[in-house]
Amino acid sequence: MSTTPSSRNTMKDRGIVVFGAAFVLRLLLTCLFPALPDLLTGRVEVSTPVNSFKRLQEGLFLYTRNVSPYDGGVYHQAPLLLPLFALLPDAKSSPLPTAIFYFLVDLLNAYALLKISQSGQSVKSRLHTAVRQHVRWDGVSVAAWFLFNPFTIATCLARSTSVFTTSGILFAVSNAVGGNSVNAMLALGFASYLSLYPTLLFIPLVLLCYDIRAQGPNPPKIGLYVVQHAGLLLASIAGLLGLSCLITGNFWEFISATYGFHLLVPDLTPNVGLWWYFFIEMFDSFREFFLGVFWLHLASYVGGFTVRFQRQPLFVITSLLGVFAVFKPYPSISDASLFFAMLPLYRHLFPLMRYTFFAVSAILYSSLLGPAFYHLWVYAGSGNANFFYAITLVWSLGISILLADAVFAALRDEWEQQNPDQKGAEVRQV
């Protein structure tokens, strides 16, 4: 990439415009439609039991009155969020400071994304260079895709605490591509501490860090490098848990109310995922077994993807984020928005994708019909749970197709790179 100073300046200006516009758009939405944040907060597509702002308010209420926040059985989020939000003014009487805080977190996430894009890791890593490496968007466009994605805006306005997990993941990646592996592990530790599932990203992330490190002088041994970073991750999680313990006092209560809740999925409130309906229908005696199956299913992709795409670890992270958006226990549209934020980094793969139209229409179809069917089921009473579940299936199908298509395109890209003479040849399944 050769950028002249003038083009760098225009990029900077564009960046300021995009970030400013995103901020103003959010501010306008909040001010013009004061009911919108609360409406979004109550939507099952946006707020799940593990990221709902309403539940955070409940926990905060108990916390500020010196009662254990987990006593009511409503709050299931990490305890460190409580002192953070206790600093902000009450969201009920003066919602703007909280809202602006969330806007800023969104902008920070976009900035991390911009950094990732600028590093160029998505097109050219240590062991792999994409065939169409010049077909790409610059960092500002990628950030704009994230900032103006309606799912991101909805998540931000609903003040879902998933945005902090998103920050943790994005900063972990941006630090990793920037060569700062220690900060990457700390950020991943923060994300894992908040939501548990980002731990699964450890292996691809540490490979990514190693790739960057190996480009420098005298690279360390990979085994030792992985162990060191695992230690770092564990230390950061342990530190955060220790802090939480100081806040809540009762260690086991907090563990079982947060991570136990993630693992055992006791709350079957509908969401856009696949777990709730399945576990409503499941025989009680098989519940534990299928919990294991679902979690293993989620985790099993880590190994396969990492082995297959060991030459582009950033793509492993991207595709795993797609898997999480579909198969994690309490998914919301914020998980999908994170996946959609990472996809534009792979602009060079788009020409190789075959089902984009189908995937995009499935996603649009479900995002429009989902709220309607939920209304029919819960409020109008003229539908039943299957209505909404069918829509969540379509939603998951849409994301899965997009993901599978991206994976296919990446494989095709690798193959073309190995067989340059076959570039553009027609694809035929055998």
307 binds another protein (CB under 8 A): yes
For residues 339 to 378, the per-residue mask of contacts with another protein, x marking binding by CB under 8 A and - elsewhere, is: ----------------------------------------
DSSP state of 216: S
Residues touching another protein, count (CB under 8 A): 49
d(CA 347, CA 411): 15
C-alpha of 37 from chain center: 21
d(CA 39, CA 406): 34
196 binds another protein (CB under 8 A): no
Which CA distances in Å does 151 have to 112, 274, 364, 383? 18, 19, 11, 26
> 154: burial class by Cβ within 10 Å (0-12, 13-18, 19+)?
buried
Total length of the chain: 430
C-alpha of 271 from chain center: 16
d(CA 120, CA 346): 10
**Which of 32-40, 96-104, 244-252, 304-312 is the region at the interface with another protein (rule: CB under 8 A)?**
304-312
411 binds another protein (CB under 8 A): yes
Task: Give Cβ neighbours of residue 235 (< 8 Å, ≥ 6 apart).
Answer: 189
User: What minimum distance in Å lies between the beta carbon of 415 and another protein?
Assistant: 6
Positive or negative torsion for Cα 95, 98, 99, 100 = positive
Nearer to another protein, 114 or 325 (CB): 325
Q: Which of 5, 296, 357, 382 binds another protein (CB under 8 A)?
A: 296
Q: Which of 101, 290, 358, 365 binds another protein (CB under 8 A)?
A: 290
Nearer to another protein, 82 or 399 (CB): 399
For residues 256 to 285, the per-residue mask of contacts with another protein, x marking binding by CB under 8 A and - elsewhere, is: ------------------x---x----xxx
Cα end-to-end span (Å), the chain: 39
Nearer to another protein, 7 or 384 (CB): 384
Instruction: Find the binding residues for another protein in span 316-345 (CB under 8 A).
Output: 319, 322-323, 326-327
Q: What angle do CA 367, 373, 376 make, to 5 degrees?
A: 150
Q: Which of 97, 239, 249, 303 binds another protein (CB under 8 A)?
A: 303
**Which of 47-55, 118-126, 258-266, 412-420 is the region at the interface with another protein (rule: CB under 8 A)?**
412-420
Nearer to another protein, 91 or 320 (CB): 320
d(CA 56, CA 79): 10
Q: Binding residues for another protein, per CB under 8 A?
A: 274, 278, 283-286, 288-290, 292-293, 296-297, 299-301, 303-308, 319, 322-323, 326-327, 393, 396-397, 400-401, 403-404, 407-408, 411-412, 414-415, 418-419, 422, 425-430
